């Protein structure tokens, strides 16, 4: 019985930490917050994850505030540490763009866009290093039952960010190549004009796979990392020895996860540059 209770408590703990603060329409037609994962799922497509929205927008505002402050206080003679750090990030984005983006096209927006993508995704991922109970327990004091603080562990945020990149791919494909050439690119390759339906099917699959792979890669890696943090946290409720092992495991996974969150942000940035480079290339 004790083992069943502990297992049940662990399952409840995990489900609680993986449930978003969801606002939507209840089956009776009223609107309000969901009180559990099943109720949130029943709300359907029109439900809004308030925590993911708030943390995503909040991190974006922090990023813009820091960048704006550095830009307004720019000093070539006596740069601050924050300015040097931001400049190193911009150099990273600029070097990545120069080494990857097609040489035939000139687009001054690509490097700033890559910088924005990298920093924003990194900040969303960075929230994963905050202990899983700190902020949810703090919000619980104010009556907020659910609070997921890592936006990139929400598939809606990950795919939404990838969808924004996809919109830019379509925009630049039409702007640089024109509607006619872009249509030819989708219908006449790789097998020529005699297999237009098959060519279109292949090219549409390849085109739609870009945002899907971009978003799901980020979501899958970050969701798995968050789940491991939660599973390690369940060790604290057993005994002192297992709890101490959990503390060591938590520290080790956090150190390793620093590499994961940085790598995922860098991959997202690089694939964004690659896809936009392909959008500028003439076939």
Phi then psi for 282, rounded to 5 degrees?
Answer: -95, 135
Give Cα separations from 200 to 187, 211, 277 (angstroms).
5, 18, 21
Is the previous residue joined to 120 through a cis bond, with omega within 30 degrees of 0? Answer: no
Residue with tokens 């813009």: 64
Say if residues 33 and 25 touch (Cβ distance below 8 Å). no
CA 250 to chain centre: 22
Distance between CA atoms of 157 and 169, rounded to whole angstroms? 19
The overall average pLDDT reported for the chain is 88
Residue with tokens 């890696």: 221
At 282 the pLDDT is 74
At 152 the pLDDT is 95
Q: Is 217 a catalytic residue?
A: yes
Quick: pLDDT tens for 207-218. Answer: 999 999 999 999
Quick: pLDDT tens for 114-161. Answer: 999 999 999 999 999 999 989 998 999 988 989 999 999 999 999 999
Residue 3 clears pLDDT 60, i.e. is over it? no
Residue 178 clears pLDDT 50, i.e. is over it? yes
Whole-prediction pTM = 0.90
Residue 1 clears pLDDT 50, i.e. is over it? no
Quick: pLDDT tens for 225-281. Answer: 999 999 999 888 777 888 888 889 999 999 999 999 999 999 999 999 999 998 888
At 171 the pLDDT is 94
At 8 the pLDDT is 47
At 103 the pLDDT is 66
At 64 the pLDDT is 94
Angle at 84 between CA 82 and CA 85, to 5 degrees: 65
Residues 6+ apart with CB under 8 A from 273: 96, 97, 100, 101, 110, 114
β-sheet with 22-25: strand ranges across: 31-33, 22-25, 48-49
Residues 6+ apart with CB under 8 A from 283: 185, 189
Marked catalytic residue, from 221, 237, 239, 277: 221
Nearest one of 113, 80, 79 to 94, comparing CA atoms: 113
Asked which of 52-61, 96-105, 140-149 is least confident by mean pLDDT, the reply is 96-105
At 68 the pLDDT is 93
Marked catalytic residue, from 9, 15, 80, 213: 213
Mean pLDDT of 60-69: 94
Q: Is 239 a catalytic residue?
A: no
Q: What is the CA radius of gyration of the chain?
A: 23
Marked catalytic residue, from 69, 217, 237, 239: 217
């Amino acid at each position: 019985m004790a083992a069943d209770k502990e297992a049940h408590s662990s399952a409840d703990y995990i489900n609680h930490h993986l449930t978003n603060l969801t606002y939507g329409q209840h089956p009776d037609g009223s609107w309000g917050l969901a009180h559990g994962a099943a109720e949130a799922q029943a709300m359907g497509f029109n439900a809004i994850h308030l925590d993911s929205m708030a943390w995503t927008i909040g991190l974006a505002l922090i990023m813009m505030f820091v960048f704006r402050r550095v830009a307004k206080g720019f000093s070539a003679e006596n740069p601050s540490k924050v300015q040097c750090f931001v400049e190193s990030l911009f150099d990273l984005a600029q070097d990545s763009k120069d080494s990857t983006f097609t040489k035939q096209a000139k687009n001054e927006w690509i490097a700033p866009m890559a910088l924005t993508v990298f920093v924003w995704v990194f900040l969303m991922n960075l929230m994963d290093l905050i202990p899983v109970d700190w902020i949810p327990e703090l919000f619980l004091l104010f009556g907020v039952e659910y609070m997921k603080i890592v936006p990139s562990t929400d598939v809606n945020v990950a795919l939404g960010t990838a969808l924004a990149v996809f919109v830019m791919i379509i925009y630049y494909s039409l702007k640089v190549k024109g509607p006619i050439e872009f249509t030819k690119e989708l219908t006449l390759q790789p097998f020529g004009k005699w297999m237009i339906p098959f060519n279109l099917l292949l090219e549409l699959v390849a085109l739609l796979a870009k945002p899907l792979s971009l978003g799901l890669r980020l979501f899958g890696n970050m969701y798995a990392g968050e789940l491991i943090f939660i599973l390690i946290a369940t060790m604290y409720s057993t005994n002192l020895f297992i709890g101490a092992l959990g503390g060591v495991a938590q520290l080790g996974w956090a150190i390793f996860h620093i590499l994961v969150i940085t790598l995922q942000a860098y991959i997202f940035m690089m694939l964004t540059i690659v896809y936009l480079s392909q959008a500028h290339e003439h076939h």
